[in-house]
Every structure is written in C-alpha cells, then in structure tokens.
Amino acid sequence: MIAQTPQPPYYAVIFTALRTGINEGYEAAADLMVRLAAEQPGFLGVEHARDGLGITVSYWADEASIAAWKAQADHQLAQADGREKWYATFAIRVAKVERAYGFTSSP
Amino acid sequence: MIAQTPQPPYYAVIFTALRTGINEGYEAAADLMVRLAAEQPGFLGVEHARDGLGITVSYWADEASIAAWKAQADHQLAQADGREKWYATFAIRVAKVERAYGFTSSP
C-alpha cells in the first residue's frame, strides 16, 4: 500500500528490476527482507509493484540508515543471491525526497 | 523497462496510486500522458508497474522540467480526471537522485 511517510526531507531508494526465470528461494527471501528492513533504524516505509518490471521504493530517514541496511548481514546474503540467481538486471537510485503531496477521494 | 538515465544528479517523481474501479478513459489517457511526457524538455525516462498498487517513477533533468510538465495543458486535464474518476488515493514525491548504480547478469 502507499507508505505513510513523514514530512520531507527524507530519502527514497528506488529499486527497479527484471527477474530471471529462477524463483528458488526468492519469495521467502523477499518476505524476510521486508521484515528485516522494517526493523532497521531509520526505516520509514516501502512500496512495491510488479508486472514484468518490478519496482520497490523504500523510504529512509537519512543516508546513514540506507548504508546500515545495505551492510546488514542477511541483506548482504540476499544481495549476493539476487545477483547470482534472481535478477537479470536492476537499477538502484538513491534520492532525497524534497517535497511530497497526496490526494484521497471523498467518500 | 528500466529507464536509461544519465549520471546523477537528476530528479525522480515517484507517483504511487490506488485506483478506483472506474476505467473510463484511463488507458487512453495513460498512454497519451506517457507519449506527451516523453516530448517534454528535460524528460529522461519513466518506469511503471502495477499489481494492486501502481507505481510510476518518471525521471527529469531538473525541477523546472517537472514544473513545466505539471502545468502542461493536456496533463492538467488528465490530473483533473484522475482526481475525479481514476484514483482513490495517490502520493507524489519529488526527489533528487544523488547516486545510482546497476547490475546486469553475465550471459
């Protein structure tokens, strides 16, 4: 669902990926990574969608919390598996959210 | 597919949305918006995925090109239709991409 993030500034990590055909271990690892990320200091939320292209946007308080999550041990193992097995290609963009707004329709 | 963007810095507009059940005019407008956005000065690329949650990330050279696209006439009409018909709720986050990296598996 749409992440409930605080007022900017904060950070977004935009992970865009095309999968290989290899699914071994993927779903369990993806679920675990979402759970572990949510326990990290500075984690603000995550949004995900996939139809062919997969897009995961995670939100973080600052660059330090992004660096700590990148270095987290289980995440390091998943990153290695991702390159070896699950992803044909991916792009990661780290961006500072400067402004944000939203809309919810009247009932 | 994954957008081929230049070296940072550049901007990302992260549009995250949940649709209503109303599809009238949506697909045609969405296709037109992608075509028109691509003609705008400063447009760098776009990525989209949806499964329940829809995520569209568009990339732009600078804040001025984002502002010009937001004010573009056909886009203004689509924004009004989006609030009236197509979207139950959405969030828009404007973020400055500070660093980026990628991976492509060996054949």
* Strand ranges for chain A from DSSP E: 10-19, 43-51, 53-60, 87-104
Note whether A91 contacts B2, CB cutoff 8 Å: yes
Alpha-carbon gap: B90 to the closest alpha carbon of chain A (Å): 5
Spatial contact of B44 and B59, defined as CB atoms under 8 Å apart: yes
Among A51, A100, A104, whose Cβ lies nearest the Cβ of B51?
A51
Low pLDDT (below 70) residues in chain A: 107
Per-residue pLDDT tens over the stretch A46-69: 999 999 999 999 999 999 999 999
Residue A99 and residue A103: Cα distance in Å, rounded?
14
Distance between CA atoms of residues A44 and A60, nearest Å: 5
Of B49, B87, B103, the CB nearest to A103: B87
Residue pairs spanning A and B at CB distance below 8 A: 136
pLDDT in tens, B32-91: 999 999 999 999 999 999 999 999 999 999 999 999 999 999 999 999 999 999 999 999
pLDDT at A106: 80
Query: What pLDDT is stored for residue B106 in this prediction?
Result: 81
Residues of A whose CB is below 8 A from B92: 100-102
Q: Per residue, what are the HEC states of B73-90?
A: HHHHHHHHHHHHHHEEEE
* CA gap A92, B80 in Å, rounded: 32
- Edge to edge, what strands does the sheet with A10-19 contain? A43-51, A53-60, A10-19, A87-104, B87-104, B10-19, B53-60, B43-51
Q: Do A48 and B54 touch (CB under 8 A)?
A: no
Nearest to B84 by CA among A76, A106, A91: A106
